A and B are shown apart, each in its own frame.
Chain A
């Protein structure tokens, strides 16, 4: 397709179909598992079957002698590899040394103990069974509250209180707020551990090219550049001798915003055996060893006036950390603290976090990362307060919303909310559902013994993570745009989208700015040898930060195009639009391809101008962005079985300007699916020995298509002024808005029976008991 078409139609804001989908849905995309290299070896990892045990001895002789086995390594061999890094820092944080293979003790079921490398993956797996490990099994502790109890088994013997850190934050005058309160409501609220289940499990291919002193690491990650920096450090390899490639990444949801032992381990193995080695995580390993999400026990107290005015919020978070810190583990609950006031004018807060070690796989960022827990808490507490003072849940929210005049709004937790119009999505959602009518239906149904519920959440969240001072690794993002000599455009983004659709949205932005056809734009990401340093995709930052970096790179590039265009047109008064440089005096034009060709041919160069058309921009955001929205859920609770039917699901989200409404709706749908998963079905359940008893799809209830309600999507648009695109981010909104709306709805259905709170997941048996006995669970 020619690049010289004059374009008047803009693409931003249109429902453009995802350009990446054909290869994804036809099974022709290249994932880590699809990487085939000559001489490939395969790794099988032997893992602890115990929650806590001492390793008395490991006998690898039989495995090493098994057919096809090239090498066997244990913790003694890998001892000198640097520890799995924790990027988060908190005052007095206790950081256990996280060896890539256990040395003399295992801390959770799935803890890697040895690796067998063979010419064939089946031979590797068979040989793994031949490794004999003599364990002295110890008492484990898998529940964070039990771990804090006196006399609990110590996860790490050097810290018998199992406490990794205590964190305290205050804003305003919390004691005064509680002294002045007419009413105080208290509730213990849990956000259960969840298992992130990306469709593609983790996987690594490491290829050591000894002659080149070069390590190529293919890994399914959201953060290739950070993996390079950190894994090179672990291996003692110069960073510029390492190339990290994230080929197609089949979902991450935060679970691949990490650096894992296996990434360094495969690098170590390949460097030792001088052959490429592949490890693909099984689904069972995914359940046991990829980070989990959530894992909160929260104690809330809210002080208010009789009229519903919220005065202050106290929150104590008991965070189940698992046995180690992964990349961001201890930082996640601090995000909950930041978000604890929600979108309400709560000027006084006090928060305490206890980070607790347990004999479980570490928790870390999972879609929403700290904000779903906080939003669930505040949205539940607002309903509990409304119930206490006999106020409608809609009215109490309106009463406490930060008002439009107050933006930029400084919160009691130290944030500055950029922009908002909190009543707008609520009004829209109420209009869609016809709130007065559904309340009337509910009252009538109740008379007939039917249990209908109406629940809402008016959530806020923190997106576009984030300004560098507020993030562990730099919070900017980078983009390079090149116009090739033929006029084709290549975008190289430091973001590392893995399903979100930036191959389409970034092309929309570039097509509009350059006035070229979208099919002339290639978006490249995920290869540290090709793309300039970048941070990655997580925390709803891809478009708000990566897209903004792209926007600024495009502005720089457009200026260069104009310089070359002016030279060709022999004019000093030109403009650039519709893919052409135009002489403002004569109306003569030069198409972008011609200008590009001239810029590389460089027969003539304008003064002080380099040949070529390339621009790079590293953009540092001045603030987070703060999207918001309102979800309303209508439920029916079936008294005889405890089953819950979702009668309607209305999601009105405000993520600022929308680049592609189709993709935004898809993000909301996926987010809501994961929110429903937490609200209704999913739970990582460990028994007292640290065994994960929901470690397979046979027992872990993943949301599936047939379990989804119809989601009625809508939007309001309140642009941010944090970035010139006016976009806020939407990757996590669905998840954050969902769970409290569902639980509020079901509690509402049962509220006349004395039910005030129900912890997730809302399993049928739990609901059946409450529907038939009443009271709290």
Chain B
């Protein structure tokens, strides 16, 4: 690795980190995206602030009826946590779909969220879960919904000097599933769909569908959600809803998948995710 020269600090507390971040100083969490960019000299931060030594950022706990996941929880932590697997299996399933074992051992939830790669896996789940993202800046914490947090490709509502502190996801009785079409070389999602469904009295009472990989930013497929709500969740209902997921999307296109193919895949994987989610909804 032949990165440009940079300073490196590994603060022990969140307050110290917040003081250092901003300007030319960039937060380093798992480094799974930042380091390769620095290696190719596409990124050249003057100062790396390593969040890895901050104990107060590495946790997964249940609090006030929700799960709180610290920013430096690794994908492996998330996929293997008994708490996440029982209380929010969608997030564990999504984490398990990221990259490969080595990436999951190093990569972190907060790092992935802050990087906002349009093909990352977590954003689909966080959209479907209506997750909250807690940001810490010089003036303390502020909380942003996933829908507001992800703005565009590699662009979030993180302000200057702010870092992702934790992600909060609800604990509820919904059935959920994450299904992705991986880009064959990188393993990123050409399309990834997270579906979360509540059922009562044989009807779908609530559907949430998060989409990643399809466009420049993750989003909730609200038209598809509405189409499914109130139905019995039959295969035909699912198909009808899934067909709406990519409707009107300004889909990305590259050598691995054209816009049309991506939109088609969004429908296929939405169908799979919704079927699995409905099957899991009690």
Q: Which residues in A have some Cβ–Cβ distance to B below 8 Å?
A: 44, 121-122, 125-126, 129, 282, 284, 640-642, 681, 685, 693-694, 696-702, 763-765, 768-769
Contacts and interface: CB of A to CB of B under 8 A. Distances in A.
Contact of B186 (A122, A642, A697, A764): A697
Given A641-B268, A768-B261, A768-B264, A282 B2 contact: yes
A769 B258 CA distance: 11
B61 interface: no
29 contacts: A121-B2, A126-B4, A126-B5, A129-B4, A129-B41, A282-B2, A284-B40, A641-B265, A681-B184, A681-B185, A693-B255, A694-B185, A697-B185, A697-B186, A698-B185, A698-B186, A699-B186, A699-B255, A699-B256, A700-B185, A701-B184, A701-B185, A763-B256, A764-B184, A764-B257, A764-B261, A765-B261, A768-B264, A769-B261
A420 to B, nearest CB: 37
Nearest to A704: B100
Contacts of A129: 4, 41
Nearest to B254: A699
A775 to B, nearest CB: 17
Contacts, number: 48
A697 B5 CA distance: 25
A640 B268 contact: yes
A125 B255 contact: no
Most buried by A among B5, B181, B255: B255
Nearest to A702: B185
Contacts of B40: 284, 696
Contacts of A769: 261
Contacts of A702: 185
A129 B184 CA distance: 33
Contacts of A764: 181, 184, 257, 261
Given A698-B186, A764-B261, 15 more contacts: A44-B2, A122-B2, A282-B2, A640-B268, A641-B265, A641-B268, A681-B184, A698-B36, A698-B185, A699-B185, A699-B256, A701-B185, A763-B256, A764-B181, A768-B264
A640 B186 CA distance: 22
A300 B256 CA distance: 29
Most buried by A among B2, B4, B40, B41: B2
Interface of B: 2, 4-5, 36, 40-41, 181, 184-186, 255-258, 261, 264-265, 268
A697 B186 CA distance: 7
Nearest to B271: A640
Contacts of B36: 698
A654 to B, nearest CB: 33
Contacts of A693: 255
Nearest to A642: B261
B258 A765 contact: yes
A764 B184 CA distance: 10
A126 B258 CA distance: 38
Contacts of B255: 685, 693-694, 699
A286 to B, nearest CB: 14
A238 to B, nearest CB: 36
Contacts of B181: 641, 764
Nearest to A685: B255
A694 B186 CA distance: 11
A699 B188 CA distance: 10
Contacts of B41: 129
A698 B185 CA distance: 5
Contacts of B5: 126
